[in-house]
Amino acid sequence: MKQSQHPQNIYSQAAVDAFFKLNPQSAVQNPVMLLVWLGTILALILTIFPNLFGEIPSQNPRLFNGLVTFILLVTIYAGNLGEAMAKAKGQAQGRKLRSLKSQTIAKKLAVDGTFTEVSSTTLQKGDTVYVVAGDIIPADGEVILGVGSVDESVITGESAPILKESGSEVASSVTAGTRIISDELIICVTANPGQGFIDRMIALMEGEESRKVPNEMALQALLAVIALIFLFVVVTLPAFAFYLQLPISAAILVALLVSLMPTTIASLLNTISIAGIDRIAKSNVIANSRDAEICTDVNTLVIDKTGTITLGNRLAEKFIPINDHSESEVAAVAIAASVFDDTPEGKSIIRLADELGAKIDFDPYASEAIYFSTSTRMSGTNLPNGSQVRKGALAAIQKFIGSPSQKFSPEIDVACERIALVGGTPLVVCLNQEIYGVIHLKDIVKPGIRDRFYQLQRLGIYTIMVTGDNKTTAGVISREAGIDDFIAEATPEDKITVIRQQQAGGKLVAMTGEGNNDALALAQANIGLAMNTGTQAAKSAANMVDLDSDPTKLIDIVAIGKQLLMTRGVLTTFSITNDIAKYFAILPILFTTLNLGIFNIMQLSSTNSAVLSVLIYNAIAIFAFIPLALRGIKFRPIGANQVFPFHLLIYGLGGAIIPFVAIKLIDMAVTAIGLA
Q: What is the pLDDT of residues 81-109, one digit of tens each?
A: 988 888 777 676 666 666 656 667 888 88
% the chain with pLDDT above 90:
11
What number is the average pLDDT over the span 14-32?
79
Higher pLDDT, 174 or 328: 328
Query: Which helix H or strand E contains 180, and what residues bound it?
Result: strand 179-180
- Which residues make beta-bridge pairs with 434? 431
The string over 638-653, giving b where at least 16 C-beta atoms fall within 10 Å of a residue's C-beta and e elsewhere, is eeeeebeeebeeebbe
Classify 463 as helix, strand or coil.
Answer: strand
Pairing of strands 315-321, 434-442: antiparallel
Higher pLDDT, 208 or 47: 47
User: Using an 8 Å Cβ cutoff, are 488 and 467 in contact?
Assistant: yes
- Domain architecture of the chain: domains with CATH: 7-93+205-282+558-673 (no CATH), 297-311+445-552 (3.40.50.1000), 315-442 (3.40.1110.10)
Lowest mean pLDDT among 214-228, 543-557, 592-606: 592-606
Q: 4 falls in which pLDDT band (50, 70, 90)?
A: very low
Higher pLDDT, 246 or 561: 561
Tell me the HSE value of 346 on the side-chain side, using a 13 A CA sphere: 23
Q: CA 339 to CA 167: how far, in whole Å? A: 13
Task: Encode 219-249 in three state secondary structure.
Answer: HHHHHHHHHHHHHHHHHHHHHHHHHCCCCCC
Taking 3-state DSSP, the helix, strand and coil percentages for the chain, each rounded to the nearest 5, stand at 55, 15, 30
Q: Please identify which of the residues 135, 291, 304, 546 carries the catalytic annotation.
A: 304
What number is the average pLDDT over the span 372-397?
87
Q: CA 473 to CA 467: how far, in whole Å? A: 10
- Which residues make beta-bridge pairs with 147? 165, 184
Q: CA 179 to CA 177: how far, in whole Å? A: 7
**Gyration radius of the chain over CA positions:** 33
Which residues, other chains included, contact 123 with Cβ-Cβ below 8 Å and sequence gap of 6+? 106, 108, 129, 138, 139, 189, 193
Q: 208 falls in which pLDDT band (50, 70, 90)?
A: very low
Q: CA 128 to CA 344: how far, in whole Å? A: 23
Write the pLDDT tens digit of every residue in 152-189: 776 666 666 777 877 665 567 788 878 888 888 888 88
Degrees to nearest 5, angle at CA 253 with 250 and 254: 90
Q: CA 162 to CA 173: how far, in whole Å? A: 11
Q: Residue 528's CB: how many other CB atoms inside 10 A? A: 26
Which residues, other chains included, contact 39 with Cβ-Cβ below 8 Å and sequence gap of 6+? 72, 254, 255, 257, 258
What number is the average pLDDT over the span 110-136?
85
Report residue 352 CA to chain centroid gap: 41
Which residues, other chains included, contact 200 with Cβ-Cβ below 8 Å and sequence gap of 6+? 209, 286, 545
* Rounded alpha-carbon distances, angstroms, from residue 388 to 370, 384, 427, 433, 448: 10, 9, 16, 9, 43
Degrees to nearest 5, angle at CA 258 with 253 and 264: 165
Which residues, other chains included, contact 538 with Cβ-Cβ below 8 Å and sequence gap of 6+? 513, 514, 515, 516, 518, 519, 522, 530, 531
What number is the average pLDDT over the span 20-41?
83
What number is the average pLDDT over the span 476-504?
85
Q: To the nearest whole number, what is the mean pLDDT of the chain?
A: 80
What number is the average pLDDT over the span 447-464?
81
Q: CA 162 to CA 20: how far, in whole Å? A: 44
- On the question of pLDDT at 3 being above 70, the answer is no
Classify 14 as helix, strand or coil.
Answer: helix
Q: 617 falls in which pLDDT band (50, 70, 90)?
A: very high
User: Using an 8 Å Cβ cutoff, are 258 and 615 in contact?
Assistant: yes
pTM, 2 dp: 0.68
Tell me the HSE value of 419 on the side-chain side, using a 13 A CA sphere: 26
Q: CA 366 to CA 340: how far, in whole Å? A: 12
Q: CA 74 to CA 53: how far, in whole Å? A: 25
Phi and psi at 217, nearest 5°, equal -65, -40
- On the question of pLDDT at 346 being above 70, the answer is yes
Specify the pLDDT at position 2.
38
Q: 478 falls in which pLDDT band (50, 70, 90)?
A: confident
What number is the average pLDDT over the span 201-222?
68
- On the question of pLDDT at 196 being above 80, the answer is no
Q: 404 falls in which pLDDT band (50, 70, 90)?
A: low
* Rounded alpha-carbon distances, angstroms, from residue 276 to 80, 205, 225, 489: 17, 11, 26, 39
Higher pLDDT, 465 or 196: 465
Lowest mean pLDDT among 32-36, 522-526, 539-543, 582-586: 582-586
Classify 119 as helix, strand or coil.
Answer: strand
Q: 336 falls in which pLDDT band (50, 70, 90)?
A: very high
Q: 334 falls in which pLDDT band (50, 70, 90)?
A: very high
% the chain with pLDDT above 70:
84
Catalytic residue status for 304: yes
Write the pLDDT tens digit of every residue in 513-567: 877 778 888 888 888 888 877 777 788 788 888 877 777 777 788 778 788 888 8
Lowest mean pLDDT among 68-72, 243-247, 648-652: 243-247
Q: How many residues does the chain have?
A: 676
